[in-house]
Amino acid sequence: MSTSHSIVEDRIKQLRDELNRHNHNYYVLNAPEISDREFDMMMKELESLELQYPEWDDPLSPTHRVGSDISKGFGQAAHIYPMLSLGNTYSIEEVDDFMRRIRTALGSDDFEIVGEMKFDGTSISLIYEHGRLIRAVTRGDGERGDIVTDNVRTIRSIPLQLQGSGWPDHFEIRGEILLPWKAFDKLNAERAYNEEPLFANPRNAASGTLKMQNSAEVARRGLDAYFYYMLSEDLPADTHYANMMEARKWGFKVSSATTLLHNIDDVDKYIQYWDTARKELPVATDGLVFKVNSLWQQLNLGYTSKSPRWAIAYKFQAERALTRLQHVSFEVGRMGIITPVANLEPVLLSGTIVKRASLHNEDIVRTLDIHEHDMLYVEKGGEIIPKITGVESADREPGAKPVQFVTHCPVCGTELRRIEGEAAWFCPNKYGCPPQIVGRIEHFVGRRMMNIDGIGEETAQMLYDAGMVTGIADIYDLTRERLLSLDRFGERSAERILQGIEDSKNVTFERVIYALSIPYVGETVAKKLARAVGDIDTLMNMPVSDLIEIEDIGPRIAESIHEYFAVSANIHNIERLRDAGVQMSMPVEATVEKTDLLSGKTIVISGTFTKHSRDEYKELIERNGGKNSGSISKKTDYVLAGDNMGPAKLEKAKSLGIPIIDESQFLAMINMD
């Protein structure tokens, strides 16, 4: 190796070590040492060097934390040690009984208990070899789980390469994948805006996110992880607490709530403290866990068929309040869905004042049997969204009538419709119902759509009320003079909007599709469509049968797209957007040189390469009609192997008789040799 190459390799390693350390400081310790700009500059330097020297690419490099938008299925793996559930208790007395059982079973008071937070997320098992993350597996059925390594690598609080020293050559660490409250609020706000079903709690959101096929979307959502148990034939210590303190030194996020407890009084005080203090934590919890500290004592206590005898979970009680219903309002969303909302007498719950709670749909209103001015039970246990869980019918006012779902749109008066098999009623007056029109305008200008700065909810309503913007294409007819004619509108606000409109003409075609508010076409589907069709004319004229052939486009989405382009007003809007300069096709480089040379072929990439990077090979596979997969199965047609191919993948490929090809053979297959 030349001296210059050695210097570059050393610099790449230095940058990776530094970026991993700063990631740990920021996401685990919450103590950043450098500015965001300094971090970004280091990341850009590393990205540049890895592109220039692909032979030193590493799947665990900090540059790969963003994930990939290539869809893939999940393989499965057996757990080395079964992932059992814990027995649950709901009172301090039951926890005290657990302590007494431990004392009786051990025949001694000489034992310690470790108190831990019971995080409300989704369980994960990570396998590390020689200090590097090699596999992540969900709990599954306790015996086997889904391999979600690519998605887990995007979680910035999880170390890909361990810090310090002293870890076993091979070990498993278990923890909980979580979506912090702030990220949960942001995600649900986006879903509410897009009229998608809201996640009831961060646990459901974390579980759904971890199993997404698009790891780039997983990275965007901002998952976190806490760890609570380590397994190995060569653990650093013979107590659970000491092992977790070592894990913290290696870079794992171990909760500061993890505490050594010595007797029943300590345990009771721990429960009493965290029953209140947990409400200040940045992530959802639903209880506490108590474990015998000594690993030898754990071994002696053993297991039942379902759970360890040396650990128990204490579940917090859900917070519930009783308050009076003032009235039910019916709100119209961008897609015309009618949502009933319970307007309540204000009540304090989990530290916040609750005044409103969604009743979601007519079926829920009927199931709860809600009457006018009923006393309703509201809960926010593991749920951050207020939830109506019941009615105190004994307090019902004499002669109170059941709440009736509206039959006509509360804004435009159009008779509502209901799709067979679905719970929601909707207003079919898509192009004449004011809240639907304003909602589509708000969506169009949003940050992840056309990103027109200066037009928010209030301004969109003002522009509509003034008759200036009654459809999305009208935005491009706005002028400085027209904007200044609006009440309380100044030069700076007008200039900001006009600049945003001009900048929006450079927004990519896939975001334009998303901005159009085609029913059932979210951000991910819009990307799939844009890459598959290339331009708006092809999409507008594509029959349902062809649309269904596009990956992830099912019959319902295909029919919705076809219906959207059958409306002359939509076609007219698109032509006006095109005339205004909005992007209506993918860049040439994104659509050229597509072939079907790999049509129907599923390829797994493993190892490091010299002629192209892994991401470039993934792009080449897709461009030539093939499909990428992250795991080897009977459905795999080829394994594209570079240097340092994982031994497990090599063995599995050989056992299944799957051809293993190198770079030269692959490039020859697509006529690039």
The predicted-structure confidence for 385-414, as pLDDT tens digits, reads as follows 788 888 998 899 999 999 999 999 999 999
pLDDT for residue 1 is more than 60: no
78-315 topology per CATH = D-amino Acid Aminotransferase; Chain A, domain 1 (3.30.470)
The confidence band for 186, taking pLDDT boundaries of 50, 70 and 90, is: confident
Question: Which residues of the chain form CATH 1.10.150.20?
Answer: 434-506, 509-591
d(CA 151, CA 206): 12
Question: With 80 as the cut, is the pLDDT of residue 522 above it?
Answer: yes
Q: What is the pLDDT of residues 298-330, one digit of tens each?
A: 999 998 767 899 999 998 877 778 999 999 999
Burial 288-325 (b: 16+ CB within 10 A, else e): bbbbbbbbebbeebeeeeeebbbbbbbebeebebebeb
- CA dist., res. 35 & res. 257, Å (int): 29
CA–CA dist 80, 269 (Å, integer): 36
When pLDDT is averaged across residues 86-111 and rounded to a whole number, the result is 90
Decide which of 1.10.150.20, 3.20.20.70, 3.50.50.60, 1.10.443.10 is the CATH code for 509-591.
1.10.150.20
The domain 320-411 is classified under which CATH number: 2.40.10.220, 2.40.50.140, 3.30.70.250, 3.40.1350.10?
Answer: 2.40.50.140
**Confidence label for 588 from pLDDT (cuts 50, 70 and 90):** low
Task: Determine the average pLDDT of the residues in 485-514.
Answer: 90
> 602-669 in CATH: which number?
3.40.50.10190
Long-range Cβ pairs for the range 635-639 (8 Å, 24+): 635/602, 636/602, 636/603, 636/604, 637/600, 637/601, 637/602, 637/603, 638/601, 638/603, 638/604, 638/666, 639/603, 639/604, 639/605, 639/606
- Band (27; pLDDT cuts 50, 70, 90): low
Identify the CATH number of the domain defined by range 434-506: 1.10.150.20
Region 3-66: CATH code: 1.10.287.610
Q: CATH 1.10.287.610 region(s) of the chain?
A: 3-66
Task: State residue 488's pLDDT score.
Answer: 78
pLDDT over 90 for what percent of the chain?
A: 47
**468 — pLDDT class (breaks 50, 70, 90):** very high
Q: Shortest CA distance to 35 belongs to which of 25, 50, 48?
A: 25
| CA-angle at 75, arms to 71 and 77, nearest 5° | 150
* Residue 71 in this model has a pLDDT that exceeds 50: no
Q: How far apart are CA 237 and CA 60, in angstroms?
A: 28
CATH 2.40.50.140 boundaries in the chain:
320-411
Residues marked as catalytic: 118
Q: Is the pLDDT of residue 102 over 60?
A: yes
Question: What is the pTM (predicted TM-score) of this model?
Answer: 0.54
